[in-house]
Each structure stands twice: as C-alpha cells, then as structure tokens.
Amino acid sequence: MNSPHNCLFCRIVAGQLPSRKVYEDDEMLAFHDIHPKAPVHFLLIPKVHVDSLADCGPGEGAVLAKMMLKVPELARAAGCGNGFRTVINTGPDGGQEVYHLHLHVLGGPRGQWKVPLP
C-alpha cells in the first residue's frame, strides 16, 4: 500500500519530519501521537518499512518481539504505572491510517481517555 519513499513514518525515521521522540535505537523509534487519545499516547514503529502487521513474516519476528518487550519499560517511564493499552490497527477495516506498522501505547487515568474502554 505504501513505499518507504512516500511513507510519513519513514520520513520521521529519516529526520525529514519532526517528532517528539520517546525512545530510539537502531531498530525502532517511539514518538508521541500528534492526535492523542489518552493522557499518554505514543507510537512505537520499526525503522524498516513494513506496511502492516498482516505483511509481517518470520523476518520481522525479532523486531516485533523487541518492540513488545520495550513497551512496558516505556509505558512505566511515561507514568503508566497503573496499566496501559497496546493497539495495532491493521488494514482499512482495522482502522489503520498510516501504512507503516505501528504500535499505539495508551495510558493514564481512564476517565481522561478520549476513546471508550470496555
């Protein structure tokens, strides 16, 4: 659906667009969502372009595991000591808007969220 040449998140990774970084290493980048749905809302993305979770295969397994294992550390550092939510929107019916795999991390007091919780 997308290519690294016109991908918004690839441009953020390349430093062509600004972001409020939460974390960065050689394989992934975390930055604040520009339209937060909770008091804490940041995205975690792999630096290598892949359109969506549906496009992942065994080659993405290591970075996906690394991302998931980094989430609790980043969430706690952001003040989510009482819990957090992780969401990966996949494809148009899954609500994906930017076609570069990204993991939403949301947290903070439940009464302050802009999205309903079950």
49 domain residue, yes or no: yes
56 lies in a domain? yes
* In-domain check, residue 2: no
Q: Is residue 117 part of a domain?
A: no
Average pLDDT for the chain = 94
The answer to whether position 118 is within a domain reads no
pLDDT band at 4 (very low <50, low <70, confident <90, very high): low
Domain for residue 91, yes or no?
Answer: yes
- Total domains, the chain: 1
pLDDT of residue 3: 61
CATH classification at residue 80: 3.30.428.10
> DSSP 3-state assignment of 61?
helix
83-97 tens-digit pLDDT? 999 999 999 999 999
Break the chain down into helix, strand, coil percent, rounded to 5.
30, 20, 50
Please report whether residue 61 resides in a domain.
yes
Is 104 tagged catalytic?
A: no
Q: Is the pLDDT of residue 24 over 70?
A: yes
Give the structural domain span for 56: 8-112
pLDDT at 71 over 90: yes
